[in-house]
Chain A
Amino acid sequence: MTVRRANAFDLHVPAPRARPGDKPDFSDWSFPEPGDTPRPEVDAPAAELRDFAYGLIRVLDLGGSAQGPWAPRLGADALRRAMKSMLLTRAFDERMHRAQRQGKTSFYMQCQGEEAISIAQATALAPDDMCFPSYRQQGILIARGYPLVDMMHQIYSNRLDPMKGRQLPVMYSSKKYGFFTISGNLATQVPQAVGWAMASAYSGDGRIAAAWLGEGSTAEGDFHAAMTFAGVYRAPVIVNVVNNQWAISSFQGIAGGENTTFAARGVGYGVPALRVDGNDFLAVYAVTQWAAERARSNLGPTLIEHFTYRAGPHSTSDDPARYRPADEARAWPLGDPIERLKAHLVGLGEWSEEQHRIAQEEAIEIVRAAGRDAEKVGVLGVEGAHEIGSMFEDVYKDMPWHLKRQREEAGA
């Protein structure tokens, strides 16, 4: 006979350790030391790689020196280029966030604190590898040399917007730069990246695909569809979970982060999964290179969890002071990615405070110049930026009769 107890169950509703007014508290986390994690061969079977899903691959210590077997061999020139891309990304974000505040556009999203991820990965991937980003990987476009002014045209929905004013700001697209059109619907891009990788495997062109999504978005079914297909067909794809601790106001526990890591999702699908300090440029680079080599050697997919912190608001529509301590970003135990790469370069004797200051100013100047050019063309809301008829184009390849009629009705 089953004995039932009244009130036997209690729903667990996860809650973060600190809310506004509390002291930031990251004391429940412990991390392996930089250099402590071994680097497996790229052809190691998934079953031997499980521990990597629960650890944290770190290369840079907080003093800036590179430790252990994951330390990549990257020349000083490449590191300085990456530093400049990170500074450019941060300067770009600052300006465009401000531009929204000044009413020049409707919306903006920064990637503050997460710059190392996009830029190290763009550095590790081949320029023609295909990226399926979320809205927080502007660093990829910047590292690949996409013109800043075109990004701004998109943000301003102006006459020269490559997306013809159709999309919300930051929803870039560029086939030429291997950057898939960004969707506002979370996680949809991840199984698409798997399909692209399957097509690449089918065609044998040697290019691999990579997708990005936030830790919050891993709850969506699309992520699990992606992992299933990637695992089943051993598609040459890298799935990147950017765990920046927050999904708008929900901390990562709401997506299941209290129970296990996000990398551990890979284990269940038999997909090798690595967890990496996302604020450590060198570690992200090394891990991405490992995964890319694995994919290129026809050994299939890799899941990477980038452990980081969303230092800014979710978007210009958000006010994080309402749900998390204001100084939580500053208390993040793994520091700021730019400061950490800077310390490394300075330690190598390949960079200085002075060079850093100049590079920062240069980045601001480059962004300012692009901003001037873009604003000359126009900001959001300038009359006549797009002729009304353009609204009806690209719905289909050929415009059907009913759209032609509606276009006429609209006065085009």
Chain B
Amino acid sequence: MTSMTMIQALNSALDVMMSRDSKVLTFGEDVGYFGGVFRVTEHLQQKYGAKRCFDAPINECGIAATAIGMAAYGLRPVIEIQFADYMYPAYDQIVSEAARIRYRSAGDYTVPMTVRMPYGGGIFGGQTHSQSPEALFTHVAGLKTVIPATPYDAKGLLISAIEDDDPVIFLEPKRVYNGPFDGRRDKPVQPWSKHPASEVPEGYYAIPLGKAQTVREGGDLTVLAYGTMVHVALAAAEDSGIDAEVIDLRTLVPVDVEAIVKSVTKTGRCVIVHEATRTSGYGAELTALVQEHCFYQLEAPIERVTGYDTPYPHALEWEYFPTPPRIIKAMRRVMES
């Protein structure tokens, strides 16, 4: 075990998989010599050569499309979209092609590729370095969507994503790349090394896709979250005095509905948190699932705490970002109704 940041854990996952399987290769903008603008692919080119870790032209469509071609050939490409905000040129290839190739060829061709992208705000990156587009992927049949919240999960989930025989969208919460930021801006961010989930095995291990994790047990209400918001939800639980159960979904599709139902059946109350815009966001899907499965156990309406339905602002970033006080307000409303 070594203490790793999320960046180091992701790097380690790529390293482990590249050393185990010569079919694994990785590319993207600034990914090669430089090791990526967030340094997730650092040293991989030096270690595995420029044919297995290389810089791509600035064309996200081409990055996704060539990865599809490689995957159809039988490789396991892992591509990096520099920021999730820049995935839109690749969207047609991901949605119309990667997601459907298995179905339309009746399994004749498959696309075992992984699309890594840093997402989310809280870094003063403005509207083109802050978006959370997960719902644009969860809405697409044929894609799996994964979002880790800790270094330990990041490595184990990335390994599973690479080994998965279907295309996996792997969204990385960049606000917690270097520390478990919990939305309390007045407190200094702890380094990952102080967090138990930064203890990461150096070698191979896999965390199955489709399995949520209860990160805080509680009896009063259930908070469903993923990515950065897991840490914010934990802070909210701590500050609120409400005995909340916090569930880190980890995989959004296929989602661990059993874990959700089990918890909400126990607590009878549910708050859903995400940073993405609200309308047609992933929280809407979760709300529907909870009411479908737990309608008679619910004691209060489900609440969503989300980004507002605006582009991500620059100066008002902290008014936009769902912080613990906003989550606590929603928790109180749910407790009181």
Contact = CB atoms under 8 A, between A and B. Distances in A.
Interface string B104-127: 000000000000000000001111
Classify chain A: how many residues form its interface, as a range: 35 or more
Contacts of A403: 308-310
A324 B314 CA distance: 31
**Chain B interface: which size bin?**
35 or more
Given A221-B61, A248-B34, A322-B34, A184 B126 contact: yes
B314 A106 contact: yes
A216 to B, nearest CB: 5
A391 B313 contact: yes
B55 interface: yes
Given A250-B29, A380-B124, A216 B314 contact: no
Interface string B1-44: 00000000000000000000000000001101110010000000
A165 B127 contact: no
A220 to B, nearest CB: 5
Nearest to B310: A395
Given A250-B55, A254-B55, A256-B57, A406 B308 contact: yes
B89 interface: yes
Nearest to B27: A13
Nearest to B37: A248
Interface stretch (A166-174, A296-304, A335-343): A166-174
B30 A161 contact: no
B319 A391 contact: yes
A406 B278 contact: yes
A218 to B, nearest CB: 8
A157 B314 contact: yes
A316 to B, nearest CB: 11
Interface of A: 11, 13, 15, 19, 106-107, 157-158, 161, 164-169, 171, 183-186, 216-217, 219-222, 247-250, 254-256, 317, 322-323, 380, 385-386, 388, 390-392, 395, 402-403, 406, 410
29 contacts: A107-B125, A157-B315, A166-B127, A166-B314, A167-B126, A167-B127, A168-B126, A184-B126, A185-B88, A185-B128, A219-B58, A219-B62, A220-B59, A221-B59, A248-B29, A248-B30, A255-B57, A323-B34, A380-B124, A380-B315, A385-B315, A386-B315, A388-B316, A391-B313, A391-B320, A395-B311, A402-B279, A403-B309, A406-B309
